[in-house]
Structure formats: C-alpha cells, structure tokens
C-alpha cells in the first residue's frame, strides 16, 4: 500500500501523523516537504520511518508566493503514484498561512489529478498548536511505545535548535497533537485524528480482538463498590 504525505514544513507531519506512519512502516511511504527547512534532519527522520522524501523548495513562510507551482507539482506526483492514502494539512482553521496554503493546493491538486476517481482517500491532519479549528472523523489509537518513538523523531527535527526548541517543548507539541484522544474517551490514551474528505468505511465490524480495552479486567472494582468495599481505605476487591 502506498501512502503519500504532504507536509508544509519538514516537522509538521511528525506531529500530525507520525505515530500512524510508525504503525505502517511496512508500507510504501513517500513524503513531500513543500518547504525544505532542516533538510538534513528531515532525511534522517524519513529514513527512520522507512520512507522516501522529496522537497518542493518553497521558501519558509512564503509558500503562498509559490502556490500555483506547488499545486501543479503535487498533481504530477499524484498522477504518477496513485497512492492509496494521501495525508495533508487542513485548508482552513490554522493560523499559519504556509499550512493552509499547502492544504488548499493539495485539494486543488487532488481534483487536477483525478485522485478521487481511484481507490484512494484523502485525510487532513492537524498541526500541533496552530490548527485551532479541526473536526476529525477518523481516529487511530496509538500504543505508548509508538508515542515515545514519535517524540524521539520529532526531537531529531529540532537538531541544532535545542537552545530555542528544547525537548520539553517537543513533548508539549506531541501532546497537543494527541489531544484528540479526549474525543474518543477511555480506554484510548493516545490517538491521532484525521478529517477524511470522503468517509473511510469498514467492510465489516472489526473483530473483538482489535477493539481497545481489556474486557476481562473491566467491572471488578465496580462490583467491589456495589458490595460496599471501601477501596479508598486500601481494602481489596
């Protein structure tokens, strides 16, 4: 399965879908970075994901000056690759113009390339701390070890910037990107959320083994409370 990732800056995609990409390491992942900041670190991060990467070389914070070229370049990539899944930033609801310009260029490119005619889905991902208005309809639950790896790779992107962008700030950014876990509720602790342009339907309900939670452990303490056990006093159930 081929996955195409469009990212305005080289770090944005890590916060938005880094965990999901880690869980798809066996698939064919190609990253298109619209602006080529931190290029050496970006190549190292792409290699860690098992992904290929290319750069469209739009100037940082001036992507809007190159919107037409970016749109046509993305359309050419879509025509050539015909990926199963295309990830990109939102076209609105983000206060960074580089992000929304790239999001709008992607939607135009999808139409130009006829991507919707193929077996593919376009999903938008939020970008930590700048995407303020986002309504996801797809969630990917992430194991704790995957989240830790996501933090590690996000920190690589700040190599050389540690005095202005320390690791605790990276961890905060990752936490911002995972805040949509709250929309799922227990038992999901960490989730990445996406806005699917068209719904991503299941052919059938997932088997129980694929559902979150540990059914055999649920209810024990509730039963203890029903029996009048004072768990706060240290009494066992």
CATH number at residue 133: 3.40.50.10320
Number of domains composing the chain: 1
Q: What is the predicted pLDDT for the residue at 213? A: 62
Distance CA(200)–CA(118), nearest Å, equals: 14
What is the Cα–Cα distance from 19 to 17, expressed in whole angstroms?
5
| E strand or H helix that includes residue 226 | helix 220-226
Residue 67: predicted pLDDT: 97
Residue 221 has pLDDT above 80, yes or no: no
Cβ proximity of 15 and 151 under 8 Å: no
CA proximity to 161, closest of 40, 47, 50, 46? 40
In which band, very low, low, confident or very high, does the pLDDT at 214 lie, cut at 50, 70 and 90?
Answer: low
pLDDT at 237 over 60: no
- Bridge partners, 85 (sequence order): 3, 121
Q: DSSP state, 213?
A: S
Residue 3's pLDDT band, with cuts at 50, 70 and 90, is very high
**Long-range Cβ pairs for the range 177-186 (8 Å, 24+):** 177/15, 177/16, 177/126, 177/127, 177/128, 178/142, 178/147, 180/126, 180/134, 180/136, 180/139, 181/139, 183/136, 183/139, 184/139, 184/141
Residue 175 lies in a domain: yes
- Choose from 143-157, 162-176, 184-198 the range with maximum mean pLDDT: 143-157
Q: Are residues 158 and 107 in contact, defined by beta-carbon separation less than 8 angstroms? A: no
pTM above 0.85, yes or no: yes
- Highest mean predicted confidence (pLDDT) among 23-27, 155-159, 203-207: 23-27
- Does any domain span residue 69? yes
Tell whether 217 is covered by a domain.
no
> Is residue 73 a part of any domain in this protein?
yes
Report pLDDT for 216: 52
Residue 226 lies in a domain: no
Q: Which domain holds residue 179?
A: 2-209
* Cα 74 from Cα 19, distance rounded (Å): 24
């Amino acid at each position: 399965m081929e996955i195409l990732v469009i990212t305005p800056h080289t770090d944005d995609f890590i916060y938005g879908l880094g965990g999901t990409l880690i869980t798809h390491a066996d698939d064919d992942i190609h990253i298109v970075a619209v602006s080529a900041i931190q290029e050496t670190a970006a190549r190292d991060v792409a290699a860690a994901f098992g992904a290929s990467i290319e750069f469209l070389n739009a100037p940082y914070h001036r992507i809007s000056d190159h919107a037409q070229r970016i749109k046509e370049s993305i359309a050419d990539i879509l025509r050539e690759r015909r990926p199963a899944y295309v990830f990109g930033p939102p076209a609105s609801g983000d206060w960074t113009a580089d992000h929304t310009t790239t999001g709008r260029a992607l939607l135009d490119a999808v139409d130009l390339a006829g991507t919707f005619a193929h077996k593919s889905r376009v999903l938008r991902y939020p970008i930590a701390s700048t995407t303020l208005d986002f309504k996801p309809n797809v969630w990917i639950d992430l194991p704790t070890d995957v989240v830790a790896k996501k933090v590690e790779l996000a920190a690589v992107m700040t190599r050389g910037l540690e005095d202005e962008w320390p690791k605790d700030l990276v961890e905060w950014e990752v936490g911002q990107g995972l805040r949509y876990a709250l929309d799922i509720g227990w038992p999901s602790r960490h989730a990445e959320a996406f806005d699917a342009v068209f719904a991503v339907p299941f052919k059938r309900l997932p088997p129980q083994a694929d559902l979150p939670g540990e059914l055999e452990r649920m209810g024990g303490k509730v039963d203890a409370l029903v029996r009048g056990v004072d768990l706060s006093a240290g009494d066992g159930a």
